[in-house]
A = this chain, B = another copy of it.
């Protein structure tokens, strides 16, 4: 099962570096550290658990290639995907002091993962960090700032997810989710002309958006019939972003 032929063609595999330097400018030695960490990514099969539920000390990792997710299972087998993780995303970088029932982290596709312990240590030791109170104007620079930003982005994705699941219809949910994916993937150069790799099954999509597989399928069909999206192989194209934005009431995570 090839990981993501399209993704590879759409961008080189330095997703983590792209992601973090989009969040905050990095010092040369920090970039070097990142390159070193991601030099030899470990291939991981689909449906592999990267972090077990309740794990006391999840190892810091970075997702270099492929998609994954944080998910939680209910006792009767129902699954809720809490957040989808994309190339360049971080896993377990927050130092936790207690084993928290966060759910597990699992790959959705074939993926490539790197250990990121040194990244956390480097950030903890501090650097160009702008820790000053700064009243909010300062952005902060350096690895620590980038990691903070990464954490805040993840919180935004969670809030988005709550709004989708709580107050939007299936149609709106899918539109909103696709727009979020587009925005996130574009920061790692995986989007061209509103087209990007889309390597997950409708079952996964359903578990992410709180729907049944059958209804997920019908909703996708509706979006296609309405000319809003187009799927070929494992890639998807958003054919009318403004319309999608309007439907989903989408307000991105822009900085202004």
Contact = CB atoms under 8 A, between A and B. Distances in A.
Contacts of A136: 56-57, 95-97
A80 B155 contact: no
Interface residues on A, range: 35 or more
Interface in A138-155: 138-140, 145, 148-149, 152, 155
A146 B166 CA distance: 30
Interface string A33-73: 00000000000000000000000110000000000001010
Given A165-B165, A167-B78, A140 B97 contact: yes
A133 B120 contact: yes
A8 B120 CA distance: 43
Interface of A: 24, 56-57, 70, 72, 74-76, 78-80, 82, 94-103, 117, 120-121, 124, 131, 133-140, 145, 148-149, 152, 155-156, 158-159, 161-163, 165-168, 209-210, 249, 251-256
Given A100-B253, A120-B133, 19 more contacts: A56-B136, A57-B135, A57-B136, A72-B163, A74-B168, A76-B249, A79-B167, A82-B163, A94-B152, A95-B133, A95-B148, A96-B152, A97-B136, A97-B149, A99-B255, A102-B159, A158-B159, A165-B166, A166-B210
